[in-house]
Structure 1
Amino acid sequence: MRELKAMKGAVRRRGWVVTGVAALLCAGAAAMLPAQAWAESDAVKELAAPPPIQLPLKPSPEFAKFPRYAGMLGSRQIVLKLGPKSDDPSGVHGEYQFTDTGAVILIAGDRDGDTLEVEESNDGTHITGNWVGKFAADGSVAGDRMNVDDSDPQPFDLKPLAAGQAVPPAGAPASAANKAAPQPSAGAATVPASSAAATGGHAVGGVSNLQTGE
């Protein structure tokens, strides 16, 4: 009889142990589920987020076909690539690059008629300056570049570059490359552009300057 009671007591104790282990396992599983859900949520956010911008900035293929402008920003030469935004009729964006160091700065803002107002960023996140300028009839643009608090204004004066035109040396007019092109000698036959296109050749005389669309 005592042995039977002892066996029953042992079974009950084992039952508590089994129940306790099961409860611990359930609690552990419940604790793991939120953590797993959190990890999956972070993974989804990471996939959905844009890739981080690599510094220093490099010229973007997105702006490679934009109209180019060359000239001076303060005492340094730059080349600006500026074009319209696809989702904003008055918006413009692009980048400019210092010819001495190759440093790239992003810009974005608006063009209203002949008025240009853009902000710049050297890391794609923080605004580092403001530009305010005017476009002239020949497509050139000039104005001032200022710090975020509108201090330390630096003048900029940029001339449009023709498609394929090399960037002129610092201080030289943007049209210098075209002026340096060899001219046909007297009596030499010139080929009309339409004829050259029909025969697979190249038109003589270059192309007109490009301007940003409004």
Structure 2
Amino acid sequence: MPMKPIAYISMTCVIPFVLSACGAPQPRSNTADADAGTSRAAVRALAPPEFPLKPNPQYADFPLYTGTLGARPIEMRLGAKSDDPTGIQGEYRFLDGAAGVVLVAGELDNGTLQIEESDDGTHITGNWVGKVAVDGSIQGERMNPDDSEPQPFELQPSNAAARGARDPIHGAVIGAPSRHVGGMSNLTTDQ
């Protein structure tokens, strides 16, 4: 049996390697196609939502507050989180023509509102700290995530009472007489 020269064997191994290193087209495999499809699906799943964010239909029945953030008019919908007794969530939008909504989530504890905002649903873009007054209005400051550039905000309950909306803290119908005894939410009258 004749022996092939070593140079011939070496070249048959080296040429495909050199071509692939240079970026020359290679035959496609079904495995590569499946991997590429899986990669694209994973990237889409991890990508932030498209801008601008659209109002969440789940928040449509939350109490509506109107007011200002700095000098800009806004409206905000805030409601209780179902899995956290002090947690609240919602969204706000500017009324001066800016598109989309900004998501908010945080807590309302002992009359103090502390929420974070996100304009993409992923990254925190601001912090809100305010006090809730007896009439339901909220006043405070909105700051950047690093607590810089504070802006005052004022929010008033809007048409919530007329629509029978629920208070985000206790779940009672806004405008309805309280059945709490002595300020204790776990003691109620039988009215």
TM-score in same-fold range (> 0.5): yes
Aligned partner of 1:119 in structure 2 is 116
CA distance in 2, matches of 1:151, 1:52: 25
Matches within 5 A, 1:71-90: 71-90=67-86
1:111-160 CA-partner distances (Å, limit 9, x unpaired): 11211101111111221110001111111111100111111111111110
Match of 1:153 among 116, 129, 150: 150
Superposed CA RMSD: 3.3
CA change 1:147–1:36 in 2 (3 A) is same
Aligned to 1:89, what secondary structure does the other structure show? Answer: coil
- Any idea what SS the aligned residue of 1:118 has? strand
Q: Equivalent pairs: percent with the same residue? A: 51
Q: Please tell me whether the aligned partners of residues 108 and 169 of structure 2 are also in contact (alpha carbons under 8 angstroms).
A: no
Residues 96 and 107, structure 1, Cα contact 8 Å, conserved in 2: yes
Whether the 8 Å contact between 1:162 and 1:210 is mirrored in structure 2 is no
CA positional deviation for 1:46: 6.7
Cα displacement (A) at 1:213: 2.3
SS in 1 for 2:86: strand
Unpaired runs of 5+ residues, structure 2, are: 2-28, 171-191
Name the aligned partner's letter for residue 105 of structure 1: V
Q: Is the 8 A contact 2:78 2:90 kept in 1?
A: yes
In the alignment, structure 1 residue 136 sits paired with structure 2 residue 133: yes
Change (3 A) 1:107 1:207: closer
Residue 142 of structure 2 contacts residue 150 of structure 2 at CA under 8 Å; is this kept in 1? yes
Report matched runs for 1:154-169 at 5 Å: 154-163=151-160
- Structure 1 pair 46–207 and aligned structure 2 pair: CA distance change class (3 A): closer
User: Which amino acid in structure 1 is aligned with residue 66 of structure 2?
Assistant: A
TM-score, length basis structure 1:
0.57
Aligned AA (1:57): L
Number of paired residues?
Answer: 148
Contact 1:82 1:94 (C-alpha < 8 Å) held by counterparts = yes
TM score, norm. by length of structure 2? 0.63
- Residue 68 (str. 1) matches residue 64 (str. 2): yes
